Amino acid sequence: MCGIVSYIGHRKAVPVLIEGLEKLEYRGYDSAGIATVLDGRIWCEKAVGRISVVAGRVEGKNIPSAVGIGHIRWATHGRPSDINSHPHTDCSGRFAVAHNGIIENFAELKAELQEKGHEFKSQTDTEVLPHLLEELYQGDLVGAVRQAVARLEGSYALAILSSEEPDKIVAVRKDSPLVVGLGQGENFLASDVTAILEYTRDVYILENGDMAVITADGVQLTDREGLPIQREIFHVEWDPVRAEKGGYDHFMLKEIHEQPRALCDTMAGRLKTDHVELAEVSISPETIKALPKIFIVACGTSYHAGMVGKYVIEKLARIPVEVDFASEFRYRDPMLKPEDLVIVISQSGETADTMAALREAKRVGSRILAITNVVGSSVAREADDIIYTWAGPEISVASTKAYTTQVLSLVMLALYFGQVRGTINHEEAEELFTALRLLPEQVETILEQATAIKTIADKIAQNEHVFFIGRSIDHGAALEGALKLKEISYLHAEAYAAGELKHGPLALITNGVPVIALATQDDVYDKMLSNIQEVKAREGYVIAVANEGNEDVANFADEVFYIPRTVKAASAILTVIPLQFLAYYVSLARGCDVDKPRNLAKSVTVE
């Protein structure tokens, strides 16, 4: 998730771009850059680090240009560095591009362009675009953009500037947000309105497939074929703080809603028609076939993703998996061998306990595969193989989209290992591919039912204790649901494997105690029903989460929240969404600070 700002009009562009990018820093701060046209050529200033570095470099330069594009980067392809910062330019220095998203087919485009003699400076996917434009340009920038974009697969919000036609900025949107701000004798482009609110509150919100040609005097909207289209002008009423959260009241709510996009991005370029491609995993098929054991180490929410990963990897790839708290791993003298694989999961990639566990595994000589959200983080730098979750920056302390993309990454890894090892057959693989592709859409349908969960949340918010129960993969999701609830609402929440209730925790169930019963697993559904009845017999208040079409459960539970049906391996991704909402709304009802819960930090860099 990167940020884009562009300006064309009567002001000096550079200060408008810098101020706009400062407001978008919540979208990423690995590097920043701006480009304008100066003396008939593209002029760029870009640097690793926050936008303040670029601001410092341009200070006092008083650049007169009234057109420019800017970018703030959350690294995906290519580590954070000056050279990988946007905007990217072509060999001739006539085309500059700022991009938010992922170009999935960049490797083949790059190879093709290199063969034609184009020299690439960066490791980014984006750089193919300015070179493509250089190749296609024949005196018509808009036409060249149209042809170039037709070659792209993936997601993109693009701002394109050319010294050949400095009177315009061309913008294109597919699956990454982009708004056009409308001014008087000036117009703007931004990833979200926060960046331009100071200048205008009237915007076009571009939709997938839209192109915009922005000049100082007007904005022309077309589809990909160049046919004119109409979009309503949206008048933004939000204050700047709310605008930064995309109109949501809290980052957590915004991030919950970003999950369909985050899941799409994490799958992008990896889920091929009938196989998984993990570009940054280079474990040989022979090694995968011979893997004796996998250890997963992580903390908190990432550990819970690991719990689900254990089920999925054991099921699909038939490799034994142990899951450890990173904080315990080193101290329990694990029976780790050099031929074992250690999967380290960390959203931030900087958690001290996780880093210590990683180093312990390296000391033994085991291979390390990192699942992390931050390119260039310590975990990513020290691992042998990496799967990046493309969730984008997670600001809220309570992790949401990082968890679902971690689980998705583990499912893809299990599928990959399973196919290499021959432990899943063609039909099973097909079923999984179909199910994974459907997930973003299914998450959307759950998001649409947020108010139903708010009603439940309001009912339980004033209780002292809440219990979560589930079996098999649902147990993993229950652990995560309980953590979400306790960390942001300060309500005491515990999760149990449902079969464990009768071995102790049942003593805590009395009249009206809420029990969230996850009942989405068909193979243990009857057992789960028995557990629900155990709770009801003690007058507990059962809120079930069940698959759509299950009418039976309503006979036993006090409330039922239905989620779309998916395959077992992917189920935790859907089951957790209502639990995230539940935590959010209980926290609100109890008047807690949702995004910054007491005593906690987003990245825990101390042991």
User: Which residues are within 8 A (CB) of 225 and not within 5 positions of it... i.e. 6 or more apart?
Assistant: 146
Pairing relation of β-strands 31-38 and 41-48? Answer: antiparallel
- Of 465, 466, 467, 472, the C-alpha closest to 528 is 472
Report the nearest approach of ligand F6R to the CB of residue 273 (Å). Answer: 32
Please give the residue ranges that form the binding site for ligand F6R (CB under 6 A): 299-302, 346-348, 351, 354, 398-399, 483, 487, 603-604
Q: Which residue, 173 or 304, is less far from ligand F6R as judged by CB?
A: 304
Give yes or no for a contact between 387 and 369, defined as CB atoms under 8 angstroms apart.
yes
Q: Which residue, 347 or 571, is less far from ligand F6R as judged by CB?
A: 347
User: Which residues are within 8 A (CB) of 434 and not within 5 positions of it... i.e. 6 or more apart?
Assistant: none
Give yes or no for a contact between 546 and 562, defined as CB atoms under 8 angstroms apart.
yes
- Of 576, 324, 347, 586, the C-alpha closest to 455 is 586
Amino acid identity for residue 516 in this structure: I
Give yes or no for a contact between 276 and 569, defined as CB atoms under 8 angstroms apart.
no
Please state the separation of Cα 45 from the chain's center in Å. Answer: 28
- Of 297, 352, 294, 302, the C-alpha closest to 329 is 297
Report the nearest approach of ligand F6R to the CB of residue 370 (Å). Answer: 10
Quote the CA–CA distance of 424 and 415 in Å, as a whole number.
8
Give yes or no for a contact between 576 and 482, defined as CB atoms under 8 angstroms apart.
no
Quote the CA–CA distance of 595 and 395 in Å, as a whole number.
8
Please state the separation of Cα 256 from the chain's center in Å. Answer: 10
Supply the residues annotated as catalytic: 2, 602
Amino acid identity for residue 246 in this structure: G
At 544, list the tokens. Answer: 């079930």
Report the nearest approach of ligand F6R to the CB of residue 348 (Å). Answer: 3
Q: Which residue, 354 or 547, is less far from ligand F6R as judged by CB?
A: 354
Q: Which residue, 222 or 603, is less far from ligand F6R as judged by CB?
A: 603
Question: Residue with CB nearest ligand F6R?
Answer: 300
Q: Which residue, 261 or 401, is less far from ligand F6R as judged by CB?
A: 401
Helices 401-421 and 300-317 cross at an angle (nearest 10°) of 20
Report the nearest approach of ligand F6R to the CB of residue 408 (Å). Answer: 15
Give yes or no for a contact between 170 and 211, defined as CB atoms under 8 angstroms apart.
yes
Terminal-residue alpha carbon distance, the chain: 29
Helix (H) or strand (E) holding 496: strand 492-497
Report the nearest approach of ligand F6R to the CB of residue 350 (Å). Answer: 7
Report the nearest approach of ligand F6R to the CB of residue 466 (Å). Answer: 16
Report the nearest approach of ligand F6R to the CB of residue 257 (Å). Answer: 17
Q: Which residue, 100 or 399, is less far from ligand F6R as judged by CB?
A: 399
Report the nearest approach of ligand F6R to the CB of residue 480 (Å). Answer: 8
Q: Which residue, 168 or 401, is less far from ligand F6R as judged by CB?
A: 401
Q: Which residue, 51 or 572, is less far from ligand F6R as judged by CB?
A: 572
**3-state secondary structure at position 213:** strand
